[in-house]
Amino acid sequence: MSSLFLALVRENPWPGIAVAALNLMVALSLVGVSLLLGLTISVLACVHALADGEAAPVRHAASRRSLA
């Protein structure tokens, strides 16, 4: 089967180029979606921590370490 595919590729390279371009577009879109999702999750976590007031105890814990 692969020898038949290689014979077809030797005759006409455009289907292989089209599949490679489609593969690249899908890969780039998946990377973009994952980056966007990670950024969204981190922003939501930051907003949630600021709304809860969870960021203040971390600063106090650091100042307590310097006093000890």
Domain contains 29: yes
Residue with more model confidence, 41 or 65: 41
Give per-residue pLDDT as tens, 4-44: 666 666 778 888 889 999 999 999 999 999 999 999 999 99
pLDDT of residue 62: 57
* Cβ–Cβ under 8 Å, residues 49 and 55: yes
Domain contains 8: yes
Domain count within the chain = 1
pLDDT of residue 42: 95
Domain contains 65: no
Domain contains 38: yes
pLDDT of residue 22: 95
CA angle 53, 54, 57 (to 5 degrees): 105
Question: For residue 44, what are the domain limits?
Answer: 2-55
Q: What are phi and psi of 10, to 5 degrees?
A: -65, -35
pLDDT higher than threshold 70 for residue 63: no
